[in-house]
Every structure is written in structure tokens, then in C-alpha cells.
Amino acid sequence: MIAVQAALHECRQAEPASALPALIRNMHTTLGTGRDVAELLDLAVLLHAQGVSHWLRIAGAPLDLRRDNDVTLAYQLAERRETPIALGLVASRASKVIPDSGAFGLAKTDLAAVEVPTTTPESIQLAGALALSQSRVAAASSDRADAEAALEYAAELAMRTGEGTAFGLGFGPTNVGLWRMEAMLEIGAHEMVTALAKGLNPNVHPYRERQSAYWRDYGRALARVKGRHDDAVIAFHRAEQIHPHRVQRDPFAREVLAEPLLRSPRGAVGRELRGMAYRAGLPLQPIRGCHPGLGNNRTCGSDVVADHGRNHRRNAGECASCSSAARW
């Protein structure tokens, strides 16, 4: 389980994809023997809340699979264990899944029902993570006051913990700043997000996945600020370099990437944007060396999007069909 969490946090997605099926099977088979149940339930809750659910989101799994299968199973395991830690871990993860279906009230109720004591460094980090979850749900519900209150409480707890890694939550002052950026994005305070971003050093966070989230959310905010289009593209590119899946499959990032394509500039920034859009599976404008009216390459006649884009060697900067220097 530790290896799976480490791979997820370091953006090595192939490793959890290979390890999780056997790990899940072995965990539940061992639970069925009736031995060491308490310890195994703790591990099973952590596996589903911080491992399986996490990976399903990155993999782009359907909402009903993430919500009705994995989150429901995690809740069943936590209820068998009946400890604040187990229930808190599942509530924290569920708050990232349930709101995707628009059930903000249910997410608020689930979070409010959990009380985690702040008596150990680990439990303080979990309590802080739950406060961050409350801020996200409140912001998504356009309740800025509740979002701010939850963030302030999380910030107070983070002052006590420093940069932590308990339960794979990555809770600490930097993560509070990242969640504040996300909350302000939900509310639409884009200039505030850019101001917050300037005061954060994402490299301080122990997990590369969260470092990528900084650049992704910074890019989303910059894209909404007049005159910052090029900066937004650069931020998205940095996020993609760290964690390609979270940029290429994130619906908000894809939406923002698609909008500038119609006014995409030429030059380095334009090439970066078109390259990211291509890797995200978004439709592209004709690239240089292609006939804008006929939609094909003047040299080899390949279709711009279907053939020429697919055959383009991004490193060599030429079409594999005709070797013309038609760069992105």
C-alpha cells in the first residue's frame, strides 16, 4: 500500500494500475479469514480511500463506479471499524467524489457527521484535510463565507503540523494554500488566485501531484485574466510536464485549453498550446505547411487532423508521411 501511494503521489500511474488488482483481492481475501480484523480494516480503508479511489479519478473512471462502488465499499469498511480516523478518511475522499454528481448537501452532511480528535500529529492532519474538504464543497456551493471559515481553521491546524504526510494526505501550510487557490477558482475570484499563487512555492509540497495541481490551477486562473493568455499556456505546460494525466483528462483544464485554440498565436507559445491540445485529444487548427482551405498538407496530401497530426513527429518537428517541416 505504501508503494502504491508513493507512486500515485509521484505521478507514476502505471505502477498502481498493475499493483492494485492483486492488492485489493489479497486484502479482502485476508479479511475474510477473520484474523487481525481491526488492523486489516484500517489498511483496507486506507487502500480504498487513498489508493483505489485516487487512481480511479486519475484514470477517468465513470462517476458511478467511483461513487457507487468504491466510495460505498470504503464507507462499509469504515463503519465496521467504527473509529474517527477510518470514518474521516472515507469522508475526506467521498467529498471529492459526491459533489461531482451535484450532491453538495449530501457531501456537507457527511463531512459534518465526522469528528476527528486533534490529539496526535496524524489526527490533526486528518482534521485539517477534512476542513479543506469542507472548503471545497462550500466553494462549489457558492458559499464563500463557509469556505473561508473552513480554510482559516485548516490554516490554524497546519501551523501546528508543518508539512505532513500522514495517511498520504499531504496536509500542511502549502496544501492549505493550494486548496485556497482551488476554492477561489470555484468562486470565480481569478485575480485573487493569481495573487495567492505568487505567494506559494509548490516545490515545498512533498508530493509532485500537488505541485502539478498548483500549476494547473494557476493556469486556469491566468486564462481568465486579461492579457495573461501566454502565461496560462506556460503554467499548463509545467503542470503537464509533472503530471500529464491530470492536465490531459481534467475537464476544467481541457475546457480552458480548447478556448484559446481559435486565437492561438504562432511561435513557441502557440506550438506549446497546440501540442498540449493534441495530447489531450482536442481538435486542432491546421498546422504550418498545411493548406488552410483544403485541410491537407501541400506536400503529401495527408489530412490535417486525422493523418498529418497523428503522423507528426513532435521531437523531429516533421510529418512522418512526407518529412515536411510542419511544426506544431
What integer pLDDT is reported at residue 220 of this predicted model? 92
In angstroms, the Cα distances linking 204 to 173, 199, 208, 246, 278 are: 10, 12, 10, 20, 31
Average of per-residue pLDDT across 248-276: 69
Instruction: Summarize pLDDT for 12-62 with one digit per residue, the tens.
Output: 988 999 999 999 999 999 999 999 999 999 999 999 999 999 899 888 888
Three-state SS for 233?
Answer: helix
311 vs 291: CA distance, rounded Å: 17
Widest Cα–Cα separation across the chain: 70
Q: What percentage of the chain has pLDDT greater than the value 90?
A: 58
Report the percent of the chain where pLDDT is more than 70.
83
pLDDT (tens digit, 9 = 90+) per residue, 3-12?
Answer: 888 889 998 9
| Among the ranges given (7-21, 40-54, 182-196, 278-292), the one the predictor scored with the smallest mean pLDDT | 278-292
| CA within 13 Å, CB half, 165 | 9
> Per residue in 144-163, is it b (16+ CB within 10 Å) or e — as a string?
bebbbebbebbbebbeebee
Q: Can you give the pTM of this predicted structure?
A: 0.80
pLDDT score at 258 = 73
Give 59-118 pLDDT, tens digit per residue: 888 888 898 888 999 999 999 999 999 999 999 999 989 888 888 999 999 999 999 999
What is residue 67's predicted lDDT score, i.e. its pLDDT?
Answer: 87
User: How far is C-alpha 67 from the chain's CA centre?
Assistant: 17
The whole-chain average pLDDT of the chain stands at: 84
State in Å, rounded, how far the first CA of the chain is from the last one.
41
Amino acid at 161: T
